[in-house]
Chains A and B, each alone.
Chain A
């Protein structure tokens, strides 16, 4: 398909845009406007996602590897890992969470919940996630306290999956 119009035509059409940002798309308004969501649901998802990103970061640091090295090891895109560690609003791909669960040897189901990919987040996991996030503020090096927080959370994630395959 070729569209041939004069320069004058194209520029006249461009000026018509004025101050508008043109966009269109089915299911475009995502995330939903806040007023359409239950505030408690939004908060719960964000709480666990904070814990998810922080968990991935600390597990990586405990291994002493860079984002790039972890991406190679887990067969993932380094860019997505960077976003996961930093962006509480980012919804990761299910495959990514699956690969991370395998790499870190934790429950896939619980990590899915933590990442906000599984809807039913059990209250106990949520409490532990908030506790973990609150105790593990990132600093330059992993402190014994962070390490302890991480160990405790790894234990929670590892023990609660009845279908975990070793």
Chain B
């Protein structure tokens, strides 16, 4: 299978400058090793610290237990699933798995095909909810952009859907202008968001495009 690499830029928070990075339409063994050896020790240490300090579990990073190796193994041989990764400074900065079997629920989009974002996670050092200044900003947005671009490529006209982690609800609603379809009782009460073709067009538009 051909792998594509898009050259992107992330914002390095410490310096405030843009740094080159790669957006790849795959998750390979190197990414899983990064997840295991670089992400997991930080997440586990953070969870232990939160536990010791008696912080309620509801306040813990909400994806701390995700097993990316298992998620990728589930995709094997299934063309409806795709993985994406963001690499910067030779280290995996974010991962996403999408499902091409999604169907629209938003008014006017019901039953139309969309790219459903199964899982999207950024590395622990890029997360505000780990109680530190993130190293890079833009990783989550880059992955979301990939989902929208894939939807365009698949002739889904940019439609995407996702269940948001609670701390990101406002981002999807206010910054990405996605439609908030409210809490989904079938998915642990997570809010479901959708991006319509028109919203996708605006999302992907260069600022100087007409």
Contacts and interface: CB of A to CB of B under 8 A. Distances in A.
B187 interface: yes
Contact of A27 (B57, B137, B187): B187
B141 A14 contact: yes
Interface stretch (A32-40, A96-104, A108-116): A32-40
Contacts of B117: 24-25
Interface string B20-41: 0001010000000000100010
Contact of A23 (B10, B140, B149): B140
Main SS of chain B's interface residues? mixed
10 contacts: A1-B25, A3-B23, A10-B10, A14-B136, A24-B162, A25-B117, A28-B62, A32-B188, A33-B57, A87-B47
Nearest to A5: B206
B206 A9 contact: yes
A1 B58 contact: no
Interface in B154-210: 162-168, 170-171, 175, 187-190, 204, 206-207
Interface residues of B, number: 66
Given A20-B168, A27-B187, A5 B63 contact: no
A26 B129 contact: no
A17 to B, nearest CB: 5
Contacts of A32: 57, 188
B109 interface: no
Contact of A83 (B18, B44, B143): B44
Give the bracket for the number of chain A residues in contact with chain B.
Answer: 35 or more
Contact of B44 (A10, A30, A87, A91): A87
B11 A14 contact: yes
Contact of A10 (B8, B63, B119): B8
Interface string B52-72: 000011101111011000000
B48 A22 contact: no
Contacts of A86: 48
